[in-house]
Amino acid sequence: MIKVANNLPALSQLSPPPRDPLKRGSRPFLKSVIPVRKCGLLSEPGGMTQRSCVYFGARYVLGPVKEAIHLVHGGVGCSYYGKMVRGRPAQVFSTDFSEYDVIFGGISKLKTALTQAFSLNPKAKGAFVYVTCVSSIIGEDVESIAHEVSKKLGKEVKIVACPGFSAISQSKGHAIAYQVLSKIIKPYKPYDFPAVNLIGDYNVGGETKVIKNLLSKIGIKVHTVLTGDTKWSEVESLTKARLNLLLCSSTAKDFCETVKNEWGIPYIKVSFYGITAIKESLLKIAEFFNIPQRKVSAILKEEERAVYEEVKGLLPGLKGKKAMIILGAARIFTLSAMLKDLGLEVELGASIFAKEVDHEEAKPIVKHLTDNPGDDELERVFSLIKPDVVFINTRHQWQPVKLGIPVISFPQPSERGPYAGYTGMINFAKQLYSVINAPVWRLLSESF
């Protein structure tokens, strides 16, 4: 039930109130509070953006790749910033640029650091050298050093040219990282059993394991997971699988296209979030491998029945509730699908950075979509429309919390469990119910 909030002291200082507050909750009202904004526009100067930098986008994708040296050629701050990827720490080396290096060049440091990093990790099959803002601005010849070290040690060295200033969000970093990964792939004989690669799965909250289990039930083996669970040698041998399953179009669609064109491996877009999406995806995969639909349908029916038994008591408390999602593009679609299955309505999907294709995907199930929301806009939305639940990243969760609005933050830690697959659907429904119905929100909102 959407409530009307009458006293909004903080808002009055920020901006004038919307013209027609009586229409709150309806689409025209939402549009007047937070406009539809096309994807890919520059952030407004002075606004705090959550979009991060290009280098961070590259780290987000490449960070967990094992059997690899990750070396940042730039300031030590960059390596610190890119150390935590998806809530987990990863090993990052740095050339630790000083003022002296900015003036006289730091290329000799790169050679030393690369050689030392390989000697510390003799099993590493290759290295990613991240060229960040400073080394990029002064025009370091990293290619020649990469070539020299590679030749001397017999290891591959890939340059990840990702200066933070080179685009408006981390999205370009994702693309750069996947372009680098595509250069590692080598020809291999395909498996003689049904095998797939998961592309654009980032193993948030341990989701990869759940997806692998789900696929194994219909007889599909997962070769590798980009990049939630992979190593250099598995990227190289990606051609062993006969099909790529694309989970995140926003980050990995171009990669799937490249692999299809260069290596002849087709891909299909799938999702393992929500009963409807899981069913559609498993049936598509089964069709590709000529697995009898009867067999898959029987498994699906059994799994769906088990989920229904677990969540049926929660459904009356969830039906018709209004949700808002302020997260990365991929989450908007996947979460909306799960919420729809549970009977909620998604009033707003505000992506931090997205492509139009992401919004097109979400349009049928999200009432109002926009990109790069401002903090002031979100405060107005939360205060005036009072959704029943907000999905938002951990750093920004406090804004709705302070207004007494139930929040589920992302990325979810592993103890909150995966949200993928049937197990994930049960976890998600239980958490959603307990968060929405927790008495603390009522107490908080009464104080506003």
Select from 29, 60, 81, 273 the one that contacts ligand SF4 (CB under 6 A). 81
Kindly tell me the burial class for residue 168, based on how many C-beta atoms sit within 10 Å of its own C-beta (0-12, 13-18, 19 or more).
middle
Q: Does 85 bind ligand SF4 (CB under 6 A)?
A: no
Rounded to 5 degrees, what angle do the CA atoms 308, 310, 314 make? 85
Q: Whose Cβ is closer to ligand SF4: residue 164's or residue 387's?
A: 164
Q: Whose Cβ is closer to ligand SF4: residue 53's or residue 210's?
A: 53
The residue written with tokens 């720490």 in the block is 89
Kindly tell me the burial class for residue 148, based on how many C-beta atoms sit within 10 Å of its own C-beta (0-12, 13-18, 19 or more).
middle
Q: Which one of the spans 37-45, 74-82, 110-118, 282-290 is the region binding ligand SF4 (CB under 6 A)?
A: 74-82
Select from 78, 92, 195, 432 the one that contacts ligand SF4 (CB under 6 A). 78
Q: Whose Cβ is closer to ligand SF4: residue 163's or residue 406's?
A: 163
Q: Whose Cβ is closer to ligand SF4: residue 53's or residue 327's?
A: 53
Q: Whose Cβ is closer to ligand SF4: residue 2's or residue 90's?
A: 90
Q: Does 428 bind ligand SF4 (CB under 6 A)?
A: no
Select from 63, 164, 194, 387 the one that contacts ligand SF4 (CB under 6 A). 164
Q: Whose Cβ is closer to ligand SF4: residue 8's or residue 90's?
A: 90
Q: Does 106 bind ligand SF4 (CB under 6 A)?
A: no
Cα(2)–Cα(379) distance, integer angstroms? 16
Q: Does 55 bind ligand SF4 (CB under 6 A)?
A: yes
CA distances from 236 to 125, 195, 262, 372 (A): 10, 16, 14, 36
Q: Does 53 bind ligand SF4 (CB under 6 A)?
A: yes
> Considering only CA atoms, which of 401, 395, 412 is closest in space to residue 441?
401
Q: Does 132 bind ligand SF4 (CB under 6 A)?
A: yes
Give me the least distance between CB of 139 and ligand SF4, in Å please. 15
Cα(321)–Cα(418) distance, integer angstroms? 22
Q: Whose Cβ is closer to ligand SF4: residue 82's or residue 400's?
A: 82
Rounded to 5 degrees, what angle do the CA atoms 341, 342, 346 make? 80
Do the bridges between strand 407-410 and strand 389-393 make them parallel or antiparallel, or are there none, so unpaired? parallel
Spell out, one character per residue from 136 to 155, where the chain touches ligand SF4: x when CB under 6 A holds, - when not. Answer: --------------------
Q: How many CB atoms lie within 10 A of CB 292?
A: 10
Q: Which one of the spans 75-83, 257-265, 329-337, 340-348 is the region binding ligand SF4 (CB under 6 A)?
A: 75-83
Give me the least distance between CB of 136 and ligand SF4, in Å please. 8
Q: Which one of the spans 72-80, 195-203, 204-212, 406-414 is the region binding ligand SF4 (CB under 6 A)?
A: 72-80
Cα(264)–Cα(277) distance, integer angstroms? 26
Token code pair at residue 365 = 């199930």
Q: How many CB atoms lie within 10 A of CB 139?
A: 8
CA distances from 435 to 373, 381, 431, 442 (A): 24, 20, 6, 11
Q: Whose Cβ is closer to ligand SF4: residue 109's or residue 155's?
A: 109
Contact residues for ligand SF4, defined by CB under 6 A? 53, 55, 74-75, 78, 81, 132-133, 163-164
